[in-house]
Amino acid sequence: MTAPLAIELVGIDKRFGSVRANKDIDLKVAKGSIHGIVGENGAGKSTLMSILYGFYHADGGEIRVDGRPVTIADSQAAIALGIGMVHQHFMLVENFTVLENVILGAEGGPLLAGGVARARATLKRLAEDYDLKVDPDAVIEDLPVGLQQRVEILKALFRGADILILDEPTGVLTPAEADHLFRILKVLRDEGKTVLLITHKLREIMAITDEVSVMRRGEMVATRQTSKTSMGELAELMVGRRVLLEVEKQPASPGRPVLQVENLTARDGRGVDVVRDVSFEVRAGEIVGIAGVSGNGQSELLEAIAGIRPVRSGAVTIDGTRLDLARHPVDAAAMRRHGLAHVPEDRHRMGLVTSFSEYENAILGYHRDPAYGRGPMLDIGAIREAARVEIEKYDIRPPDCLLRTAGFSGGNQQKIVLAREIERDPVILLVGQPTRGVDIGAIEFIHKRLVALRDAGKGVLLVSVELDEIRALADRVLVMFDGRVVGERAPETDESELGLLMAGAAQEAAE
C-alpha cells in the first residue's frame, strides 16, 4: 500500500476485568479513504473506537496518527489530533439548541456573544457545503433522531475534524437519509478527509467504503478491499458461518382483526399534531409494517396505541374491545391487560431499566401479574425461575439472570425485551425498531420469532426505519408521511416506489 496512513493501530489490547475486548488489534487506515469496520455486537468495534477517541486507554499497543506515535489521553487530545466522533447514542445536551450544542467545549472565550456569531456563520457554511440543513436555534429534544445525528456530524466538523469516526450512523436513518449521509461522506473523502465507518450493515459497506476490516470476538479477522469482496464473504467472516439475509416465511393467512385504529390523532411534546387522523387494522396472523422516514409520526403512533402517549382524538379496538382513548385515557398497564404487548423503539429509555438485574427487567410492566407473587409481595424465586426459562428459550447470553442489564450486548438486551413481551402471549404485539443496534445473529433470531408469533395467529404491528426489514417481514406495508398514512403497498413493491411514498410524493401529487 503506497497511500500515506491517517491512522495506524499496532497490537492494541484492552481488557475489562476478565473480558478481553480487544486482542492484539492491527489496523491501517489510508488517508483520504472511507474505511469500514464491521462485526457483531460485542465484537469490540466500539471499544476500539473509544480507545482511538481517548475514552478508554489501551492496556498495550501503539496508536499512530499521520505516522507519528501518539498517546490519546482524553477526547480533547483526540480532537486536537483532528479526530472527530459521531456516537451511536448521541452526546447532546437535550435542552440546549443546536448552536449551543455545536459550540459546547469550543465556545471561544469566556463571553459567548463573539463565539456564537462566528459559530453561526461557520454552521451556515458547513450546512451549505455538505447539505446538512438544521435550524441552529431548534432545541435538540424537539428534533427527530435523524436531525440530531446531523448535529453530531456538524459538531465534529465544527471542531475541524480530519478523521471522522461514525459509530452505526445509519441505525436511525431512512434509506434516503442514509444515501444523503453517504453523499456527504464521499464529499468529505474527496476533500482528503478520512472516514471510519462502524456498522452492522453490509450493504452500506459495499456501497460506500474503499476498504473494510472485519472484527470478531475482539479480534481483527480480516481486511479486504471492498471492490474485491462480497456481502456473503463479509457476513461469513463476521459470524464465522453463513447467515440468511432473507427471512423464510409462508404466505400469511389473516383472520379476525385484533387491532383497529380509528382516526387517531396525537401530539408531541411541543403540542404539534404528529399523528394525524390515522386509521388502519391489523388482523390475527399477519405482520403489518409501517415504513417511513424517521420523525414522521411512527414512533408517536406506537406510543399512542400502547397507552404511553396521550391521544387527542380517535379510538383503538383491541380484540373486539373498543377503547375511546381521547375521552377515557388508558395507561400502558391497562393496554397490557387487554392483550397488547409492546417492544418499544428505545430499549435504553423505555424497554429496560439498565441498572436493574436481568430478572427484574423480565417482569417490567407485568410486575402486577399474580404469577409473580401474592398480594403486594413479589416472589423473587418464581421471577428468577421464569427469567431463567426465557433466557434458555431465547438464548440470551450470558445466561445469568442476576447480571445487570447494562452488562448485556445490544442484541441480548433486545432479546430480553422480546422474550418478556412475546412470552405473555399477547393478541397483538407492537414492535418498534426491533433490530436497531443488534448484531446479525440476533437479527435472524428476532425475525424468526416475529414470524413464529404471526404463524401462531397473533397480530404484529412493526415500525422500522429499515426498509429491508419491513419488506422482509411484513405482509402489508403502510407508509407514513407527515403524521398520516399515505399509502398501503405489498411488501414486494419496488423499493424506489416505497421511497417516493416515504418522501411524500403521493401527498404532493394529490395537492
Residue selected from 328, 349, 492, 496 as contacting another protein according to rule CB under 8 A: 349
Compute the residue count for the chain: 511
Angle at 23 between CA 211 and CA 90, to 5 degrees: 65
Distances, alpha carbon 119 to alpha carbons 15, 41, 217, 245, in Å: 40, 37, 42, 44
Q: Rank residues 286 and 300 by Cβ distance to another protein and give the closer one.
A: 300
Q: Strand 83-86 vs strand 163-167: parallel, antiparallel, or unpaired?
A: parallel
Instruction: Name the grid cell of 501.
Output: 411514498
CB 144 within 8 A of CB 172: no
Q: Rank residues 402 and 452 by Cβ distance to another protein and give the closer one.
A: 402
Residue selected from 127, 176, 243, 308 as contacting another protein according to rule CB under 8 A: 308
Q: Rank residues 72 and 197 by Cβ distance to another protein and give the closer one.
A: 72
Q: How far is the CB of 66 from another protein (least distance, A)?
A: 29
Site string for another protein, 117-156 (x = CB under 8 A): ----------------------------------------
Q: Rank residues 19 and 121 by Cβ distance to another protein and give the closer one.
A: 19
Any residues with CB less than 8 A from the CB of 389 and at least 6 apart, and which?
A: none
Whole-angstrom Cα distance, residue 384 to residue 381?
5
Residue selected from 9, 78, 363, 480 as contacting another protein according to rule CB under 8 A: 363
DSSP output for 243-266: --SSPP-PPP---SEEEEEEEEEE
Instruction: Name the grid cell of 197.
Output: 465507518
Asked if 350 touches another protein (CB under 8 A), the answer is yes
Q: Rank residues 96 and 372 by Cβ distance to another protein and give the closer one.
A: 372
Q: How far is the CB of 300 from another protein (least distance, A)?
A: 14
Look up residue 4 and give its DSSP letter: P
DSSP output for 422-455: HTT--SEEEEESTTTT--HHHHHHHHHHHHHHHH
Range in contact with another protein (rule: CB under 8 A) among 107-115, 122-130, 347-355, 473-481: 347-355
Q: Within positions 44 to 103, which residues make up the interface with another protein, using CB under 8 A?
A: 56, 59
Asked if 365 touches another protein (CB under 8 A), the answer is yes
Residue selected from 360, 444, 469, 475 as contacting another protein according to rule CB under 8 A: 360
Q: Rank residues 100 and 360 by Cβ distance to another protein and give the closer one.
A: 360
**42 Rama class: left (phi>0) / alpha (psi -120 to 50) / beta:** left
Residue selected from 367, 392, 399, 456 as contacting another protein according to rule CB under 8 A: 367
Q: How far is the CB of 159 from another protein (least distance, A)?
A: 26
Helix (H, G, I), strand (E, B) or coil at 114: helix
Site string for another protein, 405-424 (x = CB under 8 A): -xx-----------------
Q: Rank residues 373 and 441 by Cβ distance to another protein and give the closer one.
A: 373
Whole-angstrom Cα distance, residue 249 to residue 450?
11
Q: Rank residues 331 and 455 by Cβ distance to another protein and give the closer one.
A: 331
Whole-angstrom Cα distance, residue 346 to residue 355?
15
Q: Find the farthest-apart pair of alpha carbons in the chain and give their distance in angstroms, rounded.
A: 72
Range in contact with another protein (rule: CB under 8 A) among 2-10, 78-86, 247-255, 300-308: 300-308
Q: How many chain residues are in contact with another protein, going by CB under 8 A?
A: 41
Q: Within positions 317 to 346, which residues make up the interface with another protein, using CB under 8 A?
A: 331-336, 342, 344, 346
Site string for another protein, 431-470 (x = CB under 8 A): ----------------------------------------
Q: Within positions 8 to 37, which residues make up the interface with another protein, using CB under 8 A?
A: 15-18
CB 220 within 8 A of CB 26: yes
CA 108 to chain centre: 34
Whole-angstrom Cα distance, residue 151 to residue 136?
9
Residues that bind another protein (CB under 8 A): 15-18, 56, 59, 306-308, 331-336, 342, 344, 346, 349-356, 360, 363-365, 367-368, 372-373, 376-378, 380, 404, 406-407
